[in-house]
Amino acid sequence: MAESKNKSGMGTTLWVLQWLLAVLFIFAGTMKFIMSVEEMTKQVPLSGAFLHFIGVAEVLGGLGLILPGLLKIQTGLTSLAAAGLVIIMIGATVITAEMPPLAAALFPLMVGLLTGFVGYGRWRLAPLRSRSTDSAYHSAAAGS
């Protein structure tokens, strides 16, 4: 019983983090298409095409954090989306750390760590169930 309650609490924590991170990444990715390329390249030394690529990856990654669990389809993709977003955040941390002030790199670092926690949590600590797992679970429970 206590293990089930701990898993439930971890699941709730992960869902809250998934939603917050999804909103953050979808917003950040969308802004890479709303802002002008000139304005974005003033802030970071990257090409406009690469920034648009990162924007697409952020939007898709943000959706990947929540849609598999909501739809209960291919739930393992949540951890994969988180892993991809961690890679993006490693790059963001490195690029931000190269520009003053160094403390600005703490934000992408913390977002990357939280995203990594979600990825690990959904992979090992409290994996999401898919529809096929749920139906097999309910069939087994009904039969016993």
pLDDT tens per residue across span 70-105: 999 999 999 999 999 999 999 999 999 999 999 999
- Is the entire prediction scored with pTM above 0.85? yes
**What value does the mean pLDDT of the chain take?**
91
DSSP-assigned letter for residue 101: -
Residue 108's nearest CA partner among 82, 87, 90, 85 is: 90
Residues with Cβ within 8 Å of 64's Cβ and at least 6 positions away in sequence, in order, are 77, 78, 80, 81, 82, 84
Residues with Cβ within 8 Å of 137's Cβ and at least 6 positions away in sequence, in order, are 129
User: What confidence score (pLDDT) does residue 137 get?
Assistant: 53
Least confident of 64-73, 104-113, 131-140: 131-140
| Residue 65: HSE in the Cβ half-sphere, 13 Å Cα cutoff | 31
User: What confidence score (pLDDT) does residue 43 get?
Assistant: 85
From residue 15, how far is each of 20, 118, 121 by CA, in Å? Answer: 9, 9, 10
